[in-house]
Amino acid sequence: MNKRWFLLPALSVLFAFVSSASTAKLETGQAVDSGSFGVYVSGKRIATETFSVNQGPGGSLAKSQLKAEDGGAQSSELELGGAGELRHYEWHELSPGKAEATVAPNGEFLTEKLTPGPGEKPFEQPFLLGTTTSILDDFFFLHREILAWRYLASACSQNNGNFQCKAGKIQLGVLVPRQRASMLVSIQFVTREKVDIHGTMRDLTKLSLSSEAGDWWMWLDDSLKLIRIVIPAESTEVLRD
């Protein structure tokens, strides 16, 4: 038995922030995960996402930068609060454009502020969504890992070395800032299976993620790190480097 499974109930620590936590402290905190994902379409690498998740004295901070082979680049930064509530999210298009967006609580609900480009007037869009809504922005696969952690912490347990999850799909509300839209996603445990990762067979946990945008398959290792994503309808595979 890998002892990380025994610690599944403690996954909520990843979301345990306090309001006084500063971004600087979070950035220099303990590394929960870091690395890069290669994004492949029909076997050809089209982009790389470099990411980090740090846990500091008052919480955690997830940062990503996506660089496409054609020169496009964008970044995101996600700060959560206790029990997973959103404190702040920001997205920046670095090239070819310079758009940016932020999402933050406004009372009990969330408000997105979007600036389409330099010199353009920003506008706001309120959402009747609670602060525990997950951010699942386009192109950032780290957000899928964080969603998987939330699911594992809330719906699964370890018993005598076996990984057990609630039967059936669990529905979670998410916000997609780049689309200025919200939706429901369904996630569930599928199986444990051996998967060829960079020429080595590995025992991984398979989850399914379904939404109006389509079906995804996700595989995590025993350290709860996202290793692989497959999006069948888009001939897309994401692999941890």
109-121 per-position pLDDT tens digit: 999 999 998 888 9
Whether the pLDDT of residue 166 is over 90: the answer is no
Tokens of 163: 């990984």
pLDDT digits (tens, 9 = 90+) for 33-48: 999 999 999 999 999 9
pLDDT band at 7 (very low <50, low <70, confident <90, very high): very low
How high is the mean pLDDT of the chain? 86
| 167 contacts: CB under 8 Å, gap ≥ 6 | none
What digits encode the pLDDT tens for the residues 119-141? 889 999 999 999 999 999 999 99
Q: Report residue 97 as tokens.
A: 């454009």
Closest CA to 104 of 87, 120, 82: 87
- What is the pTM for the complete model shown? 0.87
Q: Give residue 217's pLDDT.
A: 98
Here the tokens at position 162 are 């076996």
Are the beta carbons of 75 and 91 closer than 8 angstroms? yes
Distance CA 16, CA 56 (A): 10
Q: What is the pLDDT of residue 103?
A: 98
Q: Is the preceding peptide bond at 96 cis, omega within 30 degrees of 0?
A: yes
> H/E element holding 236?
strand 236-240
Q: What is the Cα 109 distance to its own chain's centre?
A: 20
Amino acid at 218: M
Report how far residue 150's alpha carbon sits from residue 109's, in angstroms, rounded to the nearest whole number.
20
Q: Is the pLDDT of residue 3 over 60?
A: no
Query: Which pLDDT score is estimated for 158?
Result: 66
